[in-house]
Chains A and B, each alone.
Chain A
Amino acid sequence: MHPALSVIFLTTLIGAGQGLFLALVTGQVYAAIRLIAPQSAEFYAGGSALALGLLVAGLGASFFHLGRPERAWRAASMWRTSWLSREVIVLPAMMAMVFLYGVFHWLGWTQPLFVIGAGGLPVDATLVFGVSGALVAFALYVCTAMIYASVKFLEEWASPYTIANFLLLGLASGFMLAAAYAAYLGTELVGFYGTWAVIFTLLALGTRSAALIRNAGLKHKSSLQTAIGVRHRVIEQRSQGFTAGSFNTREFFHHRSPRFVARLRLIFLLLVFPVPVLLIMLAYVLASPTLPVLAFAAQYVGLLAERWHFFAEARHPQNLYYQSVS
């Protein structure tokens, strides 16, 4: 497939935004049950603003993918059958939850609504928005990933690994950003978020490597034989019916050499996994406020390459019909 920058930015930005929101909620839940120190309202409000900014930027990027962006509102109508439509509904819902979560923290509307148990777990509006928003965030990961995993002809994508990767890579980058944010503000949560970021990064390394291995040995169902229905082992295209380009030759292939793709794979395997993990560990040892920011930046750049490779790796069966100009 042709990797479109708009979709690369959409999926990586909202993935990190959701992950950051989940990190904030995780921190709040940990603080509520007194495992870590509670943070200031500004910490949550600022973090929510950052998460919302990423989600808005992602949504903005997605409009560049559309031929007719002025009609984008129509995309919410077919949620019964289309994962893309479901994403179009869940993404604004996610933004609303992040917005409410941040605003309630910012305005200090955190009086407990009720208390759970005798020991006393006070539940305020932000916790309600946080936990329900977390469910929406997970739903959005699934919707985004299923857009790709549900196209059965794109066999590189049609696997549960796609969902695992979108979820875990989003969580990794989000928690890495939370660590960077905490380090930048000078709070003591760098270790907490950093540890989770490392855990999710390592889990993502497992699922992403498994996906790469699976796809390297993938045997495609379609062949030139089934494409034109001629039973012969030797079939060669002599003409694709036109001499220059068309939508079919532009949209479904990355137009780069195998070497370029292999190099990009190496780059993302380094930048997404070992580099940020080493940087965040180094930051923990040195108590550096800037290294976690660098760790997130490295991982995000790596994720751009990862997403490019994700698209480039998928071989669409329609390419069987476009193997030779003349």
Chain B
Amino acid sequence: MTQLALVIDLNVCVGCHACVTSCKQWNTSGWAGPMVDENPYGADPTGTFFNRVQTFEVGHYPATETVHFPKSCLHCEDPPCVPVCPTGASYKREDNGVVLVDYDKCIGCKYCSWACPYGVRELDAQQKVMKKCTLCIDRITDQTLPESERKPACVLACPTNARLYGDVHDPDSEVSIAIRERGGYALMPEWGTRPANHYLPRRKTYMHVSPEELQRADNPLTKEDLTVYTGEETLDDVTW
């Protein structure tokens, strides 16, 4: 079975919000739109967004680290929002695992948003139906687009390639390898929702080099050679 998902690399996310704006632009003008904005130029603007970038500070100054944290629907493999829906408007696609809302069936009771621990569902203030990230279902399933563009808008927009997209059930996919080899983790694992989206941790790469690694201490030529050198070229300096 296929489970499409995003893998978000916190190590390279710079918090530019390009994924937020590209998501809004694509989805407000596409299948999932409009994503209503109210009072956009006033003092208290509000609107529907499928994706947000938040910022957290970890540690005490000066030993702090800034974590930019993109947040959207995780397309859980065991989505708690789906079984609670009284109308069946909330569903998980059998063929690719994307969690979607049928806007024509949704009654706007908000129960699914209560049942999501991540807070990724938003009731549209004017359409009065529940909305959420569709993983750009109208892009990724559009056979008329070239293969390279059949990706969510946020993935295509990310300037640092912090968003990877693919099938997390295929062990050889880019996303599976990234999760496996770069410490990918799921959010709030305590709830057993098994999010399909994963996050790659921030990493600092250190390499320890000891003096023995620079000068080969056990070189038999230096061990057995009793000659006293005074700066001339030796066998160690010769490249074959």
Task: Report if A241 contacts B (CB, 8 A).
Answer: yes
* Cβ-closest 5 pairs across A and B: A67-B108, A318-B119, A67-B128, A241-B52, A85-B86
Do A239 and B48 form a contact, CB below 8 Å, given A68-B107, A152-B191, A226-B190? no
| Residues of chain A from 224 to 255 with CB closer than 8 A to chain B in the complex | 224, 226-230, 232, 234-248, 251-252
Q: Which of A73-81, A94-102, A110-118 contacts B (4 or more CB under 8 A)?
A: A73-81
A152 to B202 CA separation, bound complex (whole angstroms): 30
A318 to B188 CA separation, bound complex (whole angstroms): 10
**Residue on B nearest A72 in the bound complex, by CB:** B107
A240 to B107 CA separation, bound complex (whole angstroms): 28
A153 to B114 CA separation, bound complex (whole angstroms): 9
A contact residues around B111 at 8 Å (CB) = 82, 84, 147
Cβ-defined contact, A65 with B109, below 8 A: yes
Nearest chain B CB to A160's CB is how many angstroms away?
19
Task: Report if B122 contacts A (CB, 8 A).
Answer: yes
A contact residues around B118 at 8 Å (CB) = 317-318, 321
Cβ-defined contact, B67 with A230, below 8 A: yes
Task: Report if A31 contacts B (CB, 8 A).
Answer: no
15 more CB-based (< 8 A) A-B contacts, given A72-B107, A242-B52:
A71-B107, A75-B86, A75-B109, A82-B83, A82-B86, A84-B111, A221-B191, A226-B188, A228-B69, A230-B56, A237-B55, A237-B56, A238-B55, A247-B121, A318-B118
| Residues of chain B from 217 to 234 with CB closer than 8 A to chain A in the complex | none
A contact residues around B57 at 8 Å (CB) = 235-238
B contact residues around A240 at 8 Å (CB) = 52, 54
**Residue on A nearest B111 in the bound complex, by CB:** A84
Interface size on A, residues (CB 8 A): 57
A167 to B132 CA separation, bound complex (whole angstroms): 35
A245 to B49 CA separation, bound complex (whole angstroms): 12
Do A316 and B119 form a contact, CB below 8 Å, given A232-B58, A246-B47? yes
Cβ-defined contact, A67 with B123, below 8 A: yes
| Residues of chain A from 214 to 229 with CB closer than 8 A to chain B in the complex | 221-222, 224, 226-229
Cβ-defined contact, B119 with A84, below 8 A: no
Task: Report if A59 contacts B (CB, 8 A).
Answer: no
Interface size on B, residues (CB 8 A): 62
Cβ-defined contact, A239 with B109, below 8 A: no
**Residue on B nearest A242 in the bound complex, by CB:** B52
Task: Report if B85 contacts A (CB, 8 A).
Answer: yes
Cβ-defined contact, A248 with B119, below 8 A: yes
| Residues of chain B from 36 to 61 with CB closer than 8 A to chain A in the complex | 43-49, 52-60
**Partner among A221, A241, A316 whose Cβ is within 8 Å of the Cβ of B190:** A221
A270 to B126 CA separation, bound complex (whole angstroms): 40
Chain B binding surface SS class: loop
Task: Report if A151 contacts B (CB, 8 A).
Answer: yes
Task: Report if B199 contacts A (CB, 8 A).
Answer: yes
A153 to B84 CA separation, bound complex (whole angstroms): 13
Task: Report if B113 contacts A (CB, 8 A).
Answer: yes
Task: Report if B80 contacts A (CB, 8 A).
Answer: yes
Nearest chain A CB to B94's CB is how many angstroms away?
16
A324 to B55 CA separation, bound complex (whole angstroms): 10
Task: Report if A154 contacts B (CB, 8 A).
Answer: yes
Task: Report if A197 contacts B (CB, 8 A).
Answer: no
Do A77 and B20 form a contact, CB below 8 Å, given A84-B109, A237-B54, A247-B122? no
| Residues of chain B from 52 to 85 with CB closer than 8 A to chain A in the complex | 52-60, 66-67, 69, 71, 80, 82-85
A contact residues around B44 at 8 Å (CB) = 244-245
A237 to B57 CA separation, bound complex (whole angstroms): 6
Do A235 and B56 form a contact, CB below 8 Å, given A77-B87, A82-B84? yes
**Partner among A72, A74, A229, A318 whose Cβ is within 8 Å of the Cβ of B116:** A318
A74 to B67 CA separation, bound complex (whole angstroms): 43
**Residue on B nearest A67 in the bound complex, by CB:** B108
Cβ-defined contact, A154 with B114, below 8 A: yes
Cβ-defined contact, B187 with A251, below 8 A: no
B contact residues around A316 at 8 Å (CB) = 114, 117, 119
Interface centre among B48, B60, B108, B185 (most CB of A within 10 A): B108
| Residues of chain A from 31 to 63 with CB closer than 8 A to chain B in the complex | none
| Residues of chain A from 184 to 199 with CB closer than 8 A to chain B in the complex | none
A251 to B86 CA separation, bound complex (whole angstroms): 19
A51 to B214 CA separation, bound complex (whole angstroms): 89
A contact residues around B66 at 8 Å (CB) = 238
Cβ-defined contact, B58 with A322, below 8 A: no
13 pairs of residues in contact across A and B, judged by CB atoms under 8 Å = A75-B87, A77-B88, A81-B83, A82-B86, A84-B86, A150-B84, A221-B190, A236-B57, A240-B54, A241-B17, A317-B119, A321-B71, A322-B119
